[in-house]
Amino acid sequence: MFLTSTLPRLSTSLNPQHPSTFLHGKTSSIPKFTTSFAAFSSPPTTFLPLTIHAMKKIQGRVVCSTNDKTVSVEVVRLAPHPKYKRRIRIKKKYQAHDPDNQFEVGDIVQLQSSKPISKTKAFVAVAVPKRNDTRKTVVSAGSSSIDKGE
């Protein structure tokens, strides 16, 4: 009741010749709202160079070094099983750039991400220094490797 009583008065007050202001696409009698976006805009920000260090270096073992300047590195990681939640080993092989052909099968290398070198190579193989083995080796008294009957 309220809407029906106010609509005829509005339409006649805006444009007395036509019952509706939208007749024949005329919208000139509708006031246009102008808003200033200066109140909504934030001050200009200066962008600092950000570096993301996620997944930059991976460590793995060389499994193939037959190609020239390329090694295949197997990376092993532990991840929970989707259903049983037990931690399982997940192996993935990456192709890495070896510019000097210095790595052999079995070497432990670190993969450093770089720009793509080829279709499959986006890592550079970097040598990992050998660790000092501080574990004690137990020699059994029954078997001796010195006396082999030579």
In a domain, 50, yes or no: no
74 and 118, same domain (yes or no): yes
66 and 31, same domain (yes or no): no
70 and 122, same domain (yes or no): yes
Q: Which residue range forms the structural domain that includes residue 32?
A: 1-37
Name the β-bridge partners of 93: 74
Q: Would you tell me how many other CB atoms lie within 10 Å of the CB of residue 130? A: 7
The two structure tokens encoding residue 73: 């590195």
76 and 119, same domain (yes or no): yes
In a domain, 74, yes or no: yes
Query: Is 0.75 surpassed by the pTM of this model?
Result: no
Return d(Cα 59, Cα 55) in angstroms, integer. Answer: 11
Tens-digit pLDDT profile for the chain (150 aa)?
555 555 555 544 555 555 555 556 655 555 665 655 555 566 666 666 666 556 668 999 999 999 999 999 999 999 999 999 999 999 999 999 999 999 999 999 999 999 999 999 999 999 998 777 777 766 666 555 555 554
pLDDT at res. 56: 67
Name the β-bridge partners of 76: 91
Residues 121 and 95: beta-carbon distance below 8 Å: yes
In a domain, 21, yes or no: yes
In a domain, 141, yes or no: no
Name the β-bridge partners of 111: 58, 125
